[in-house]
Amino acid sequence: MRVRHLLRHLQEADPDAVVLYLPQYGEMTDAEEVLNVAVIAEPWACERHYAAEGKTTDVHHPAEHGLSIGWQAATDRQWRERVVILSADSGAGTSEAGG
């Protein structure tokens, strides 16, 4: 999702509503409040890994960390993109300056 899409979805939201995050395949009771928003200054790497059966997996990480485990140069793709991180953590592990 891009920031512009998120902002469009939030246009009609009550500004005092609590923002919750629901993990993939989670039950409604697994939702946690978003406590931190980090606008990362440096572009991150996004890798798209392609499996033999056609499934793709995207992996995002700080670009300076190099390639992820499982990277296959012959089939996988990588590019840089800006990221915003929403977290249920109160701030540990993210920063607005770097990543």
Cα 39 to Cα 60: distance, rounded to the nearest angstrom? 15
Domain edges within the chain: 3-87
Question: pTM score > 0.95 for this model?
Answer: no
Kindly report the CA angle at 39 between 33 and 41, in degrees rounded to 5?
155
- The rounded mean pLDDT for the chain is 88
Q: pLDDT of 38-90, one tens digit each? A: 999 999 999 999 988 889 989 999 998 888 888 888 899 999 999 999 998 87
Per-residue pLDDT at 84:
96
